Chains A and B, each alone.
Chain A
Amino acid sequence: MERIEAIKTIIKQLDDELIICNLGFPSRELYSIKDSPRHFYMLGSMGMASSIGLGLALTQKRKVIVFEGDGSLLMNLGSLVTIYSQSPKNLILIILDNGCYATTGSQCTYALKVDLGELAKGIGFKKIFKFEKPHEINMRPILEDEGPIIVHVKVEPGNADVPIIDLNPEEIISRFMKIVSSGK
């Protein structure tokens, strides 16, 4: 499955959850499928998606979904340890794992050798879902359950042909914060 197909399949099953999306093509693909003020598109600070999601999940009640990548998670693996220890019930960490740094030219990541789902299990996470085909992706039991939940989605390398995000950073954060404060 292509990453954009995975994102599309997941997004269709969501309602009013808050989304923190990893930088580069994942954000561009999400933006091209559907734009919403509930989306926080990262434009820099690779590795920080899961940490931003943790901070947000700990300070308000709505569910937080993080679209993380394998390369960016490897850049901040300590985050898994902190998330597990803080254990926010409203956090769902989706790892879109294509085994490569797709945005920078598809160089391989060590996720080809290390199973990130098994790694999360080793840390102590109890709820880990793994999907390899689009029809397998059923978000309902995940959304109905208590977090923290890890969703490991294996996708093929490569990016969809989508334009860059024509929103400025301040616009992205201010409309996102407005939505967050309205639902607190």
Chain B
Amino acid sequence: MESSQAIYKALKDNNINFIVSVPCINLAKVLEMIEHDEEIKHIPATREEEGFGIAAGAYMAGENTAILMQNSGLGNSINVIASLYKLYRIPILMIISHRGTHGEFITAQIPMGEATPLILEALNIPYHVPSTPEEAYNDIKSAWKVAKAKKHPTAILLEVSFW
């Protein structure tokens, strides 16, 4: 399985039908696949925090939601995750392109890259770091299962070397 295909197939097989996004180059292929999928409503947001707000409204109408974003967007969304998602117990699957990890070519990505797992830990968000497409497929399945059961965000970190 190819890496982008594995992510897309996992989203489909877990009935994720509402996706918000702010792009990352590493997510470009997945974003293209979901954009052309008529069963998935895809709403690009101007900022990740806004995307979380939109997805929360969709969850209230019963949709299965995910956000696709770069890890920089996690920094933009800390308050909405805590004071909307955790407060009201709202699930969401966070598919995060984890820049600033091994193989990164842009120095500016490194500080946020290093902070990312620590931010997830501070927010008590369970996360997986798959290294192969097969692992990613299985991790998404279990992360979504936990998100729904615990009514809580869960995350998948896709490092630079994953792609």
Contacts and interface: CB of A to CB of B under 8 A. Distances in A.
Chain B: interface secondary structure? Answer: helix
A48 B62 contact: no
Nearest to B84: A45
Contact of A184 (B43, B46, B59, B62): B62
Contacts of A107: none
A20 B50 contact: no
Interface in A37-56: 40, 42-56
A44 B46 contact: no
A60 B90 contact: no
For chain A, which range describes its interface: under 10, 10 to 19, 20 to 34, or 35 or more residues?
35 or more
A79 B50 contact: yes
B110 interface: no
Interface in A102-124: none
B43 A43 contact: no
Interface residues of B, number: 31
Contacts of B59: 55
Nearest to B46: A78
A78 B20 CA distance: 14
Contacts of A101: none
B127 interface: no
B61 interface: yes
Interface of B: 18, 41, 43-47, 49-63, 79-80, 82-84, 87-90
